[in-house]
Structures are given as C-alpha cells and as structure tokens.
C-alpha cells in the first residue's frame, strides 16, 4: 500500500502544518467566507445523510469514526448513545475534537491519533466522511476491505463524484509540482468503485452545495 502510505503522510502534513486553523474555523460556528459557508452547509447535510444510515438509537452500538477530523460526527454519534472510536491521522485535529466533545459524552469516546485502517478493534459500523477522498480506486478498495474485516454491519463513506467540475479541479491540481501541492481530491465513479470492490458498494445519495460536492456510498462485505 505504498501509494496509500504516501498520500496518508501528505494528508497528515497538510492538516498539521497548513490547514489546522482553517479547518478548526470551518467546523465551528465562527463567521466564514461565502464559499466556505457553502462547504460548511454541505458537510452538515452529508453528516446528517450518513447518520441516517445508522440506527436512530445507538446505545450499545460500536462505531469507528474513521477520519474524525475536528469531531463533529464523533459528538453526534456519542450524543445518540454510540460507543465511538474516533481516529484521525492528524494529532492536532484529534486534540481539537477531544476539547470540543461535551464532557458528559467523554466516557463514550476513545480518541486515537493514527491510521484509520489500523486494527482498532471490532465495530458495528464505520463512518468515513471525506477521509478517503484523496486516494485512488485501488487504495480505497484496500482500505474498505481492511475496515470491513472488523465491521459487523456496514462501512458508510464518501468520495468525490466524477463530475466535470471536480475532474477539472483534479486536473489543475496535477499541474503543480508535488512539493507544492496540498492533497487533491480524486474523483470516482460509483460503477468503477463497485466493480473493483466486487459489487459490494451501494450508492446512497449525493450532496451538492456550492463548492461542496460529495457522494455517500455504503460497503457491506
């Protein structure tokens, strides 16, 4: 998984060295630009969509929040009663998520800084919101396989859909020298992912709000 490891390390460097403050503000209630407001609203819609794939009552349900970021998904899962393992490759984002979690839910959450595909124990569900969007088809399929080995129900995840806008964005990003690039989303078609994953990927729905475009998919082994 050399490509996966290289991209993972680039993501960690980006969020810990360049984007922590931006991400902290975007995921808060602080005022942001009009463009970032659309991203914030799109992410809120996607989070709600992903949560709708899980039972309404999560008491006794074990959930891995794979790529927890600043912890918005983690907090909602814990509030609904889930026992959550919240993992992210960025230690700084994990610290933000830990600080933001309401104290009354702290006993429900185990925060981990590290690779989301590592062995973090068995879970009923995995949610991976916008944490696989930087990887190619091969790496996403391998990650889903690893996650599903320790998941009793479903892996609910997102990808950047293969739209003309995102394809243009992706092509422009490849023009920059590697040393100067932030991680760039890799657009995917559901049909291609599903074929590579041997028919185990189901399309749920797409969220499009301004500059936020993401597709929710579900993987069941």
What are the tens digits of pLDDT across the range 149-188? 999 999 999 999 987 665 555 454 444 444 445 678 899 9
Q: What is the CATH number of domain 2-219?
A: 3.40.50.150
Q: Which residues contact 195 (CB under 8 A, 6 or more apart)?
A: none
Would residue 198 be called left, alpha or beta, if left means φ above 0 and alpha means ψ between -120 and 50 degrees?
left
Interval 128-150: pLDDT, tens: 999 999 999 999 999 999 999 99
Model pLDDT, residue 175: 40
Interval 37-94: pLDDT, tens: 999 999 999 999 999 999 999 999 999 999 999 999 999 999 999 999 999 999 999 9
Model pLDDT, residue 185: 82
Model pLDDT, residue 22: 87
Q: Are strands 151-161 and 212-219 parallel, antiparallel or unpaired?
A: antiparallel
Q: What is the mean pLDDT of residues 105-113?
A: 98
pTM of the model: 0.92
């Amino acid at each position: 998984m050399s490509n996966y490891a290289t991209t993972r390390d680039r993501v960690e460097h980006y969020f810990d060295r360049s984007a922590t403050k931006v991400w902290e503000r975007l995921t808060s209630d602080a005022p942001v630009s009009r463009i970032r407001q659309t991203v914030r609203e799109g992410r809120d819609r996607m989070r709600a969509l992903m949560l709708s794939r899980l039972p309404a009552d999560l008491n006794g349900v074990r959930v891995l929040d794979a790529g927890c970021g600043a912890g918005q998904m983690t907090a909602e899962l814990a509030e609904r009663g889930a026992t959550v393992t919240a993992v992210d490759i960025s230690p700084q984002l994990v610290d933000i998520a830990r600080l933001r979690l309401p104290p009354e839910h702290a006993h429900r959450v185990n925060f981990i800084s590290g690779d989301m595909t590592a062995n973090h124990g068995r879970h009923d569900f995995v949610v991976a919101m916008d944490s696989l969007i930087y990887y190619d088809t091969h790496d996403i399929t391998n990650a889903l396989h690893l996650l599903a080995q320790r998941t009793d129900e479903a892996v609910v995840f997102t990808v950047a859909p293969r739209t003309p806008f995102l394809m243009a964005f992706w092509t422009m990003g490849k023009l920059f020298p590697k040393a100067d690039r932030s991680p760039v989303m890799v657009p995917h078609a559901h049909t291609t992912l599903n074929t590579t994953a041997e028919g185990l990927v189901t399309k749920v729905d797409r969220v499009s709000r301004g500059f936020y475009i993401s597709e929710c998919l579900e993987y069941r082994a």
